[in-house]
Structure 1
């Protein structure tokens, strides 16, 4: 009986990685979370929002593809370095003990080689742009490396993640305008920062019991029973920044229609999430791809119909 058949017999749902990739590369694909694209979307959306605001419509598809490609590889690199530092902790957590580095499917040395390759490809995607954009992308990587350590020294690693995952808001305008345009980049960056605090605090509630035992810190543990109050205010900050950003650049009415829809989606997450249910926290976290898509659609239509 093949390994695929054994997994199916046990009732484990196979991802496309097990279905289509050679066995030798499967652990590396899992290490980069290629079967869980929500992290790619969350890193990509701030960059795609920024690109959608500044690119001419003729070059827009190419620019979206470039930054999408960048997000795939840099997110994979972020997962790899995170798992490298957390491999001993991950062995103690039910949800993460089967990760390649924690389960020894990939050795630490192999993980570092895979990390280097992903960084080379990801940064290479932005090499065609100006020096400022490449420099910002390199600084971003340094922050990505520091993120796993934040969970050991502060109860606010989600805030540090917000700094990292919002970086694309700076890169989009930098790549296309040659500088970070404050009226475009800053509102998007601020909104993404607060958005990250919402969804990653929800995400952290999945592991709060195991994290408390192993000494990992998070806003889920910091806020406890007051979590919904905190993330409500973070949601307000996110939407306010998007609203004010639209006013600053004088974008068209369709943007505000989709912003209202996105506000409803974010409100639904905050007020209906069951923070005691890891399954529901995971579902609410993954639903954020639609929040990002609503804002992106609103930007495009707001430009088309000013």
Structure 2
């Protein structure tokens, strides 16, 4: 191919395309059609030059022109910072709000079960004897014992990372295993309720129940709420397998699964905050009322985030699912 002849034949089209690209949104209807047509032709010209006469200067010119024309035809992508802001101000809180009945019910049942277990352990010496020997219980519950020293067992930074990782694993297990008909989520919740109930019961039997709750409350309120959210989302996903609600099961699972994915991403930040509180606030020298106050403030902020910001976004139509432009087309289904 004679490159000079090729350029002479098409440079007017390229100049016209560059002019239309510069004008952007000020184009009239026929000019927009012309922009699309010239963009398609320039793309073809770029392919021809690449395959037959790869002149570096001409390739650079056409590549730049085609890229700018493509952006003008298809529209520019939303900046990443705007996507992140939209996620945390709309998608994530709306997903939390819409799954509220699931995780609030989970929280209520968990609190009742934990309360019953802790009262049983605290009030029955025979039950405590099946848990550990008396000297072992004393080692766990006495001042400076295992329960108290746990929160200062390492440098605050590394301890925060350890706590964050552990809690993230529990939350991830609840989210991912819920699809197995909810059974694994129930087992995970039972084990956590059992561990917490035994700890509270043992400390209460030693007369240090209020002290122990003072250690748990600063980080535990937000941490347990995050676990409840993860468990509720996992149960919701598992129930979708059982009852897809009149939709094809694959469609229902895809929609619910994408909302659960949004919750999973957001909970990473929530658990990070609870881990920082557990590492830096719980073992600090602050008075109990100050440490508990920080935990309550974090919990109230989270609930306000869900039931103010999330409620507003949900009422405006936000579902927690990704934008329709990024999902595949689906066939209509009868209800």
Bin of the TM-score, shorter chain as denominator length:
0.3 to 0.5
By relative contact order (CA 8 Å, sep 6+), the higher-ranking structure is 2
Question: TM-score, length-normalised on structure 1?
Answer: 0.35
Question: TM-score, length-normalised on structure 2?
Answer: 0.32
Query: Larger C-alpha radius of gyration, 1 or 2?
Result: 2
